[in-house]
Amino acid sequence: MEGFTLNVARSFLGKNVNLYLKDGSVIVNVQLAEIHKDLPKREALIKCVPYGNENQFEVPLKNIAWAKLLDLHLIKAHGEQGS
């Protein structure tokens, strides 16, 4: 497995995912909004937007192990059933 590279990150832009970090933690249900480089630190950063929230945060690309694509239609349908 090649890991979470810049090309892999680009394929997830605009999609909701769970991000699995190398330290074992998981960031649940965020949309990958943008990729940019922090020139002083010489690293790529992924801008994430939590589902249903306008706040944004950034995660260094090197800290991400992998991402799992989410199907929001299933999440919304399940939430509507419970109402």
Domain enclosing residue 67, as ranges: 6-81
Whether 80 has a pLDDT exceeding 80, the answer reads no
Question: Do the beta carbons of residue 75 and residue 28 sit within 8 Å?
Answer: no
Reported as a single tens digit per residue, the pLDDT across 62-75 is 999 999 999 866 65
Kindly state whether residue 40 falls inside one of the protein's structural domains: yes
Neighbours of 50 (CB within 10 A): 15
In which band, very low, low, confident or very high, does the pLDDT at 76 lie, cut at 50, 70 and 90?
low
Instruction: Say what the pTM is.
Output: 0.80
Kindly state whether residue 1 falls inside one of the protein's structural domains: no
Whether 11 has a pLDDT exceeding 70, the answer reads yes
Tokens describing residue 76: 């919304």
Shortest CA distance to 3 belongs to which of 47, 77, 56, 64?
Answer: 64
Q: The domain spanning residue 44 has which CATH number?
A: 2.30.30
In angstroms, how far is the first alpha carbon of the chain from the final one?
Answer: 41
Q: Mean pLDDT, the chain, as a whole number?
A: 87
